[in-house]
């Protein structure tokens, strides 16, 4: 049970969870099941973040994606009724050409990613990750930070407008 073995095992298990969850999200016939599998997928992604020592990112992944976004989707699914027995009739006359195109893209992506030298930063990870993020947000990235608040405001106003139209 060496370090490398444990790291690899954890990574493969988490990746399997992410991919399997994703497949079940799109292939499930029951929309609510899809939403719950989405939660599972996002939680596994948070696990992968933890493996990369990005603890802050993992925590806010769970907080925002699972706690807010996925929950919003579940609300949406629950509020639009008659979902449990939706028989999604897949009209798939072009199934085989589609499959061929997907395989081609898969090969293309794998070929492209295989030989790409990803630049991994040699700088050591900061000891206090969250604090480093905070400093960066306040100094280098102030403008995107304020723009985000405007973006959120736009989203809020949009939500209010849609609500009033109902």
Is 52 a binding residue for other proteins by CB under 8 A? The answer is: no
* Stretch 101-140: interaction string toward other proteins, x if CB under 8 A: ---------------------------xxxx-xxx-xxx-
SS3 at position 116: coil
The least distance separating other proteins from the CB of residue 132, rounded to whole angstroms, comes to 8
DSSP string across 137-153: HHTTTHHHHHHHHHHHH
CB of 20 to other proteins, least distance (A): 15
Please tell me whether residue 22 binds other proteins under the rule CB under 8 A. no
State how far the Cα of 14 lies from the Cα of 27, in Å rounded to an integer: 20
* Residue 113 or 150 having the CB closest to other proteins: 150
Binding residue for other proteins, selected from 87, 89, 119, 164, defined by CB under 8 A: 164
Among 26, 79, 113, 123, binds other proteins (CB under 8 A): 79
Distance separating alpha carbons of residues 157 and 10, to the nearest angstrom: 43
Rounded-to-integer distance, Cα 156 and Cα 151, Å: 9
Task: List all residues 6 or more positions away from 51 whose beta carbon is below 8 Å from its beta carbon.
Answer: 7, 10, 11, 14
User: Three-state SS string across 41-94, please?
Assistant: HHHHHHHHHHHCCCHHHHHHHHHHHHHHHHHHHHHHHHHCCCCCCCCCCCCCCC
Q: What are phi and psi of 28, to 5 degrees?
A: -75, 140
Q: Is 166 in the site for other proteins (CB under 8 A)?
A: yes
What does the per-residue mask of binding to other proteins show for 133-162, with x meaning CB under 8 A? xxx-xxx--x--xx-xxx-xx-xxx-xx--
Return residues touching other proteins (CB under 8 A). Answer: 1-3, 6-7, 10, 30, 32-33, 36, 39, 47, 50, 53, 55-56, 58-60, 62-64, 66-72, 74-76, 78-82, 84, 128-131, 133-135, 137-139, 142, 145-146, 148-150, 152-153, 155-157, 159-160, 163-164, 166
């Amino acid at each position: 049970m060496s370090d490398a073995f444990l790291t690899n095992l954890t990574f493969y298990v988490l990746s399997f969870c992410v991919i399997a969850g994703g497949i079940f999200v799109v292939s499930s016939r029951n929309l609510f099941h899809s939403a719950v599998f989405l939660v599972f997928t996002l939680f596994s992604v948070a696990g992968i973040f933890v493996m990369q020592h990005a603890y802050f990112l993992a925590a806010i992944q769970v907080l925002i994606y699972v706690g807010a976004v996925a929950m919003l989707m579940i609300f949406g699914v629950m509020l639009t009724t008659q979902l449990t027995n939706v028989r999604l009739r897949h009209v798939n006359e072009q199934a085989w050409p589609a499959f061929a195109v997907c395989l081609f893209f898969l090969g293309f992506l794998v070929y492209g990613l295989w030989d790409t030298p990803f630049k991994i930063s040699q700088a050591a990870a900061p000891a206090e990750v969250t604090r480093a993020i905070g400093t960066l947000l306040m100094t280098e990235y102030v403008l995107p930070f304020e723009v985000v608040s405007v973006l959120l405001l736009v989203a809020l106003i949009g939500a209010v407008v849609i609500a009033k139209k109902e």
